[in-house]
Amino acid sequence: MTVRVGINGYGTIGKRVACAVKAQDDMEIVGVTKTRPSYEARLAEMEKFPLYTASEDQISSFEKEGIATKGSLKDLLKEADIIVDCTPGGVGEHYRKMYEEAGVKAIFQGGEDHGLAGISFNAYANYSEAWGADFARVVSCNTTGLVRTLFPIDHAYGIESVAATIVRRGADPADIKGSALNAIEPSLKLPTHHGPDVQTIMPWLNITTMVVKVPTTLMHVHCITINLKKQAKEQDILGVWDSAPRVRFVNGKYGIKNTAQIMEYAKDLDRRRGDFMEIAVWQDGIKVRGNTLFYYQAVHQESDVVPENIDCIRSMMRLESDGMKSIQKTNSSLGISK
Amino acid sequence: MTVRVGINGYGTIGKRVACAVKAQDDMEIVGVTKTRPSYEARLAEMEKFPLYTASEDQISSFEKEGIATKGSLKDLLKEADIIVDCTPGGVGEHYRKMYEEAGVKAIFQGGEDHGLAGISFNAYANYSEAWGADFARVVSCNTTGLVRTLFPIDHAYGIESVAATIVRRGADPADIKGSALNAIEPSLKLPTHHGPDVQTIMPWLNITTMVVKVPTTLMHVHCITINLKKQAKEQDILGVWDSAPRVRFVNGKYGIKNTAQIMEYAKDLDRRRGDFMEIAVWQDGIKVRGNTLFYYQAVHQESDVVPENIDCIRSMMRLESDGMKSIQKTNSSLGISK
Amino acid sequence: MTVRVGINGYGTIGKRVACAVKAQDDMEIVGVTKTRPSYEARLAEMEKFPLYTASEDQISSFEKEGIATKGSLKDLLKEADIIVDCTPGGVGEHYRKMYEEAGVKAIFQGGEDHGLAGISFNAYANYSEAWGADFARVVSCNTTGLVRTLFPIDHAYGIESVAATIVRRGADPADIKGSALNAIEPSLKLPTHHGPDVQTIMPWLNITTMVVKVPTTLMHVHCITINLKKQAKEQDILGVWDSAPRVRFVNGKYGIKNTAQIMEYAKDLDRRRGDFMEIAVWQDGIKVRGNTLFYYQAVHQESDVVPENIDCIRSMMRLESDGMKSIQKTNSSLGISK
Amino acid sequence: MTVRVGINGYGTIGKRVACAVKAQDDMEIVGVTKTRPSYEARLAEMEKFPLYTASEDQISSFEKEGIATKGSLKDLLKEADIIVDCTPGGVGEHYRKMYEEAGVKAIFQGGEDHGLAGISFNAYANYSEAWGADFARVVSCNTTGLVRTLFPIDHAYGIESVAATIVRRGADPADIKGSALNAIEPSLKLPTHHGPDVQTIMPWLNITTMVVKVPTTLMHVHCITINLKKQAKEQDILGVWDSAPRVRFVNGKYGIKNTAQIMEYAKDLDRRRGDFMEIAVWQDGIKVRGNTLFYYQAVHQESDVVPENIDCIRSMMRLESDGMKSIQKTNSSLGISK
């Protein structure tokens, strides 16, 4: 029998997680929620995802537009074993009690605090921590990106300290606000919350972060400086990532010099929605000097957490006890090579 | 037997036409050319497209990167019945003689002059004009966009005159130049060449155009004013486009208010590369005042000409005599609804 | 004795009008208002403009930051003969009664409806209409731009009809919202309100407008098509504008091809704040075909209305009965050549 | 007698240095060069700067446009005591011999290699090094920015090591190329040349840099992490910069949160061209943790080197032996408070 998954919030992340669930053979979508009868509500129909509203009073606005719904979230909770909460950051908190009372497990996204779920999740780093849990949180796109490359390096060579500058995209492609059109804006409160967020997965890690927001929509870029405990050469480090899941090399010398070119590459690879779910590391943008390692990576903010959500469902629902097997199953269903 | 198609120039347009050819049952790709061993050369391999260089002296640079080629364009010409020339604007002229001497038909793109081929092509407006021809030119993305909506309106109500302002995207998404980062730039030479280019398909049409370039990468937008010969209401006009091929409505009231949201929609529709091959007309952005019709449309510069190239191959290779049948066959293979 | 002017709303427009008033010999600034103790409040001090808050309850937040105020708007109204209301669009309505009760004249900006003041103002077109009036409205930046070039052409050759496409900047340079970062967005409600707004100054004019918003901050660009009543050549039209106030030619062939280059030019001209208060018309971007005239112009949204406000004060305060003399006086004080 | 200064290359930097020289009482502009008769050539006339072409064969193209010149660079060299070479990066090398043969001193800009002049200059850090020299190089905008804040900190507390991420503006405001419209692009060759460039001024400093280019035009932002030799509190560090020349605080809490808002502030301050010649440090964007200091600063790439060029002239021409006195003289003439 397949696990019945509901998506609360069929937006940027929600629609991607829903399609990823659909691509699995051990889980299925039993419903998705929308708050307004936008075109995305009609797309749910195209995907054959049963449509629910977030609250009961929204149903009539859907009816007015001729969009049939199966009820509201309250009804969806009766159909689902687990909810993936993809509501906007800070909103998940409001729903936690509702999930609990309905006896339905739930996964929150990185916009929520660690404390809401008590468990923060990354498939490679701590798959088993979510085993059978009622609540877990898949960490944010940036934290997922940092953990994907830091965890294997820490394992192989030991990390003394990390200083990372996160150059954030100003807004998602179709968003109307979030960034001045022509400005760079630093996050003045230092150090930013990203370091402590990585520590919800790797509590022993000495990491500090600075952040600037820039007027682009495609990806975040991380400029990372690591002091290593053991010496390593560039080739050693690249070798570690070559074996790590969901890290993919790109090369400036083959014409992939910036985030727009990574996104072009993703379209060429025929990924659903042109998503790039791996962390892109520039193979020709790495340097070791003494014990210090420098490298650049890019994070597709809309999609890198999607496979993590699938693995998190498997761990919480006890579908697969071996994390690496879950990762491989997810990857192979989504066209991720490793 | 299927028609053997070669692509000269596996770039933004070339790779899309190649994938579209691959999706047909009456034609196949026998080779694509690249000038440099970039990542796109490797992608051709992924697609199982035989790889050729543009000129013989480029072969060694591919060998150095460990990329095998089948030879150069000269060799490809021996394998192909027809070449789709997707080289940069103005370069096609250089190759025309080579195609002619090899006895291979060729389609040029809108960056070339009408005179190079003598026939300018749009599947709905003049499919039969390319019948059996040795050379034809698929008009540019903007001209294709204008013809798609003007031709059916002219047929139904008659057009006295058209004034269109074309708001151009500054550069394609992964391009490094073409536009200042924060500026609007008019095309000062008036009227611009777009009117005469539409007249290569609709020579009787009274049309003038103005153009500004703006710092965005996703789509062009046309602001069109038509003086109609016969009176029509908004609903009449929408009805005409509803029956016309490759015109698709979008709605601001359902959340598709700008070009970024159209591109998001295209990703959701699961089109290859997130392309939107139809012309997007805003259903709630149209007005008739007296005999004057105002409307907005958006053109995906990277892809709207792709299905036109397929139909053009069919007409030139005498694969299908009925233009509407070719259009439907192409559409259905590419996920275009009408 | 000089006229005592108060500025309600010391923001983008307010601070510019204040500096322009300061440059006149027949008027002076008696106070400006701010709602928050931002850096602009401190700049008012630097300019020696007495500082007031908008409402009484805001005074304490200024005191907390150590910024002294002279009281609130209520107090300023006792000191002023006339208020220039530069509050955000739609807010002026709220203050009208307060001005009236205090017996203080007021000028509103283009974000307010014509009806609020009953008189819409452009110095060249209808200076005398505001003579001695209690309330008037200086029309918006775009309307000012259209009237500056249309009014003299209509006078010289007669305008049958105008169709203009307005390519709007997405947001002012330092604004945080207003536009998607990478999108073109049409104003779907057609025709847009800009035509009727021009008609508040030129009620006889047959004008329709379409509008798209683009991701840039510097200037609006207008693409204008006019059907003329009498024939004219390009040189005739340029001659008309050469004699019209506050229209200035720029040339692509001398390196001013886009709005960023106009702004660079304005900086080089040593205008206060790099403002370009004239309407910039491309001298090499004009064409007459039969009776139809095409041209491009650019509008500096932050400043073109500033000299109009000065002239409007003069007309309302009966400082100068001859409009052209007021225009010249204002121009010469602000470095505008004609 | 005043020192006679020539500017080779009246462009972005050249025109600013020329205006700054004009504002001094101990030097004057005897000529500026242009290669093309663009609008900037006419602006030189407006400023009363004698105009020369770069080479003799360019004179006729100026004559065609009716712009009189005084001859070419060869002629200017007869009039000048010192040339400020503001030609594009890498071009200065070509002119060095010509200056030398004419017996004229020359200052190069940061786009040239240190070796070309042998002396790299920053007024606060090493004013006396250029004393009487024939050639010197004012370091680049980014290097100037780093030295301005690092040098005083190193002096006060000692710097163990610095890691800086430079977030570069993609192009200057009126440039047509240099950056993709919607992308972040890292400098893959690590560490970048900026560290060694700082070491031309502070050879003892242990500094490494990473760089990303982003689609904005206004300023560069530096995210800086310093390991200090001696403990210091945030207030101590701010106190050091408060005493250092050409460092100016901005505050997010007063509404200056990003680079666009700094540029708005500069316009409000009534600086020529809206320039911000100081390094802007966010007073509320600083943190000390243990011995590690984190802070953000912004660099106006078009102007921060301008006062340095003036001081460099004074040192090379032996006009003032005390660096601090030269700095104060330059500052006071240009409206820089300290």
Tell me what pLDDT residue C259 has.
98
Which chain D residue lies closest to A256 (C-alpha atoms)?
A: D185
What does the pLDDT look like over B252-287, one tens digit per residue?
A: 999 999 999 999 999 999 889 999 999 999 999 999
pLDDT beyond 80 at B213: yes
Task: Decide the pairing of beta strands D3-8 and D82-85.
Answer: parallel
Q: One-letter amino acid identity for C131?
A: W
Query: Can you state the angle between helices D234-243 and D141-157, rounded to 10 degrees?
Result: 120
Tell me what pLDDT residue B178 has.
80
The domain total for chain C is 2
Q: Indicate which CATH number applies to the domain containing D179.
A: 3.30.360.10
- For chain C, positions 221-260, list CB contacts with chain D under 8 A: 251, 254-256, 258, 260
Between D248 and C178, name the one with better pLDDT. Answer: D248
- What's the per-residue H, E or C state across chain A? CCEEEEEECCCHHHHHHHHHHHCCCCEEEEEEEECCCCHHHHHHHHCCCCEEECCHHHHHHHHHCCCCCCCEHHHHHHHCCEEEECCCCCCHHHHHHHHHHHCCEEEECCCCCHHHHCCEECHHHHHHHHCCCCEEEECCHHHHHHHHHHHHHHHHHCEEEEEEEEEEECCCCCCCECCCCCCCEECCCCCCCHHHHHHCCCCCCCEEEEEEEECCCCCEEEEEEEEECCCCCHHHHHHHHHHCCCEEEECHHHCCCCHHHHHHHHHHCCCHHHCCCCEEEEEEEEEEECCEEEEEEEECCCCCCHHHHHHHHHHHCCCCCCHHHHHHHHHHHHCCCC
* Beta carbon pairs, A and C, within 8 Å: 42
In a mutational test of the A interface, the residue from C168, C169, C181 whose CB has the highest number of chain A CBs within 10 Å is: C181
Q: Does B184 touch chain D (CB under 8 A)?
A: no
In a mutational test of the B interface, the residue from C184, C187, C265, C291 whose CB has the highest number of chain B CBs within 10 Å is: C184
For C298, list phi and psi in degrees, rounded to 5: -125, 145
Measure in Å the smallest separation between the Cα of B119 and chain A Cα atoms.
31
Cα(C30)–Cα(C7) distance, integer angstroms: 8
- What's the per-residue H, E or C state across B44-60? HHHCCCCEEECCHHHHH
Q: Side by side, which strands form the sheet with A135-138? A: A51-53, A27-34, A3-8, A82-85, A105-108, A135-138, A120-121
For residue A330, what are the β-bridge partners? none
Cα dihedral D12, D14, D20, D26 in deg (nearest 10): 180
For residue A53, what are the β-bridge partners? A34, A72
Cα(D112)–Cα(D84) distance, integer angstroms: 13
Take residue C279 and report the two structure tokens written for it.
């309407």
Which chain D residue lies closest to C67 (C-alpha atoms)?
A: D254
Closest CA to D274 of C260, C272, C262, C300: C272
Q: Does D215 touch chain B (CB under 8 A)?
A: yes
Q: Are B106 and B185 found together in one domain?
A: no
Cα(C257)–Cα(D158) distance, integer angstroms: 50
How many CB atoms are located within 10 Å of the residue B95 CB?
Answer: 20
What is the arithmetic mean of pLDDT over A6-21? Answer: 97
Q: Are B155 and B125 found together in one domain?
A: no
CB–CB contact B268 A263 (8 Å) = no
Tell me what pLDDT residue C157 has.
98
Cα(A245)–Cα(A249) distance, integer angstroms: 12
CB–CB contact A180 C174 (8 Å) = yes
Q: Are A148 and A133 found together in one domain?
A: no
Q: What percent of chain B has pLDDT over 70?
A: 100
Active site residue B19: no
pLDDT band, very low/low/confident/very high, at C177 (cuts 50, 70, 90): confident
Q: Are A154 and A131 found together in one domain?
A: no
Q: What angle do CA A263, A269, A270 make, to 5 degrees?
A: 100
pLDDT band, very low/low/confident/very high, at D176 (cuts 50, 70, 90): confident
CB–CB contact C174 D263 (8 Å) = yes
For residue B83, what are the β-bridge partners? B6, B106
- For chain C, positions 272-291, list CB contacts with chain B under 8 A: 282, 284-287, 289
**D1 Cβ partners below 8 Å, 6+ apart?**
none
Cα(C308)–Cα(A217) distance, integer angstroms: 39
Q: What angle do CA B193, B197, B200 make, to 5 degrees?
A: 150
* Beta carbon pairs, B and C, within 8 Å: 140
Q: One-letter amino acid identity for D287?
A: K
Residues of A in contact with C180 (CB under 8 A): 171, 173-176, 217
pLDDT beyond 90 at A238: yes
Residues of B in contact with C252 (CB under 8 A): 188
pLDDT band, very low/low/confident/very high, at C30 (cuts 50, 70, 90): very high
For B82, list phi and psi in degrees, rounded to 5: -150, 145
- E-strand ranges in chain B read 3-8, 27-34, 51-53, 82-85, 105-108, 120-121, 135-138, 159-169, 185-186, 207-214, 220-228, 247-250, 279-289, 292-299
Take residue C60 and report the two structure tokens written for it.
């304490």
Domain that holds residue B89: 3-139+305-334
Give the Å distances, CA to CA, from C264 to B56, C17, C259, D297.
47, 22, 9, 24
Tell me what pLDDT residue B337 has.
92
What does the pLDDT look like over B285-311, one tens digit per residue?
A: 999 999 999 999 999 999 999 999 999
CB–CB contact C184 B219 (8 Å) = yes
pLDDT beyond 80 at A1: no
Cα(D223)–Cα(A35) distance, integer angstroms: 40
Q: Does D293 touch chain A (CB under 8 A)?
A: no
Classify each residue of A183-211 as buried b or exposed e, where b means 16 or more C-beta atoms within 10 Å of its C-beta: bbbbbbebbbebbebbbbbbeebebbbbb
Measure in Å the smallest separation between the Cα of A178 and chain C Cα atoms.
7
How many CB atoms are located within 10 Å of the residue C40 CB?
Answer: 21
Q: Are D227 and D311 found together in one domain?
A: no
What is the arithmetic mean of pLDDT over D92-115? Answer: 96
pLDDT band, very low/low/confident/very high, at D257 (cuts 50, 70, 90): very high
What is the arithmetic mean of pLDDT over A98-116? Answer: 97
Tell me what pLDDT residue A260 has.
98
CB–CB contact D186 A217 (8 Å) = no
Residue of B19, B141, B223, B312 marked active site: B141
Chains sharing 3 or more CB pairs under 8 A with chain C: A, B, D
> What SS3 state is found at C58?
helix
For residue D4, what are the β-bridge partners? D28
pLDDT beyond 80 at D322: yes
Measure in Å the smallest separation between the Cα of B220 and chain D Cα atoms.
15
CB–CB contact C259 B296 (8 Å) = no
Tell me what pLDDT residue C306 has.
98
Q: Does A219 touch chain D (CB under 8 A)?
A: yes
Task: Answer whether D198's CB lies under 8 Å from D205's CB.
Answer: yes
Q: Does C171 touch chain B (CB under 8 A)?
A: no
What is the arithmetic mean of pLDDT over B45-74? Answer: 95
CB–CB contact C267 D260 (8 Å) = no
Average pLDDT of chain C to the nearest whole number:
96
Measure in Å the smallest separation between the Cα of B172 and chain D Cα atoms.
9
pLDDT band, very low/low/confident/very high, at B93 (cuts 50, 70, 90): confident
> What SS3 state is found at C149?
helix
What is the arithmetic mean of pLDDT over C117-131? Answer: 98
- What's the per-residue H, E or C state across C292-310? EEEEEEEECCCCCCHHHHH
Query: Can you state the angle between helices A306-316 and A323-334, rounded to 10 degrees?
Result: 140
Q: Indicate which CATH number applies to the domain containing D82.
A: 3.40.50.720
Q: Give the DSSP letter string of C232-289.
A: --HHHHHHHHHHSTTEEEE-GGGT--SHHHHHHHHHHTT-GGG---SEEEEEEEEEEE
Tell me what pLDDT residue C90 has.
87
Closest CA to B273 of C191, A273, A99, D227: A273
What is the arithmetic mean of pLDDT over D85-103? Answer: 94
Between C144 and A45, name the one with better pLDDT. Answer: C144
Average pLDDT of chain B to the nearest whole number:
96
Annotated binding site of A for NAD(+): 12-13, 111, 169, 301
Q: What percent of chain B has pLDDT over 90?
A: 96
Instruction: Check residue D56 and report its DSSP letter.
Output: G
Q: Are A91 and A165 found together in one domain?
A: no
**A79 Cβ partners below 8 Å, 6+ apart?**
A4, A6, A30, A31, A50
Cα(B240)–Cα(B249) distance, integer angstroms: 12
pLDDT beyond 80 at D271: yes
pLDDT beyond 80 at C1: no
- Annotation-wise, does C194 bind a ligand? yes
Q: Are C103 and C154 found together in one domain?
A: no
For residue D18, what are the β-bridge partners? none
User: H or E element: which one contains D259?
Assistant: helix D259-268
Between A178 and D237, name the one with better pLDDT. Answer: D237
Measured between CB atoms, which of D15, D37, D174 is closest to C260?
D174
pLDDT beyond 90 at C11: yes
Q: Are B134 and B147 found together in one domain?
A: no
Annotated binding site of B for D-glyceraldehyde 3-phosphate: 140-142, 194-195
- E-strand ranges in chain C read 3-8, 27-34, 51-53, 82-85, 105-108, 120-121, 135-138, 159-169, 185-186, 207-214, 220-228, 247-250, 279-289, 292-299
Asked which of A38-42, A169-173, B81-85, D228-232 is least confident by mean pLDDT, the reply is: A38-42
Residues of C in contact with D181 (CB under 8 A): 182
Q: What percent of chain A has pLDDT over 90?
A: 96
Closest CA to B86 of B111, B121, B53: B111
Residue of D86, D141, D223, D312 marked active site: D141
CB–CB contact B217 D176 (8 Å) = no
CB–CB contact A264 B173 (8 Å) = yes
Q: Are A190 and A156 found together in one domain?
A: yes
Instruction: Check residue C127 and report its DSSP letter.
Output: G
pLDDT band, very low/low/confident/very high, at B90 (cuts 50, 70, 90): confident
Q: Complex ipTM, two decimals?
A: 0.96
Tell me what pLDDT residue A167 has.
98
Q: Are A47 and A61 found together in one domain?
A: yes
Asked which of A74-78, A281-285, B2-6, C35-39 is least confident by mean pLDDT, the reply is: C35-39
User: H or E element: which one contains C43?
Assistant: helix C39-46
Q: Does B181 touch chain D (CB under 8 A)?
A: yes
pLDDT beyond 80 at D59: yes
Chains sharing 3 or more CB pairs under 8 A with chain D: A, B, C
Residues of B in contact with D176 (CB under 8 A): 177, 179-180
Tell me what pLDDT residue D292 has.
96
Q: Does A6 touch chain C (CB under 8 A)?
A: no
pLDDT band, very low/low/confident/very high, at C270 (cuts 50, 70, 90): confident
What does the pLDDT look like over B127-179, one tens digit per residue?
A: 999 999 999 999 999 999 999 999 999 999 999 999 999 999 999 999 988 88
Tell me what pLDDT residue A93 has.
86
Q: Are D112 and D150 found together in one domain?
A: no
- For chain A, positions 129-168, list CB contacts with chain D under 8 A: 163, 165, 167
Q: Are A192 and A213 found together in one domain?
A: yes
Cα torsion angle, A119, A124, A127, A128, sign: negative
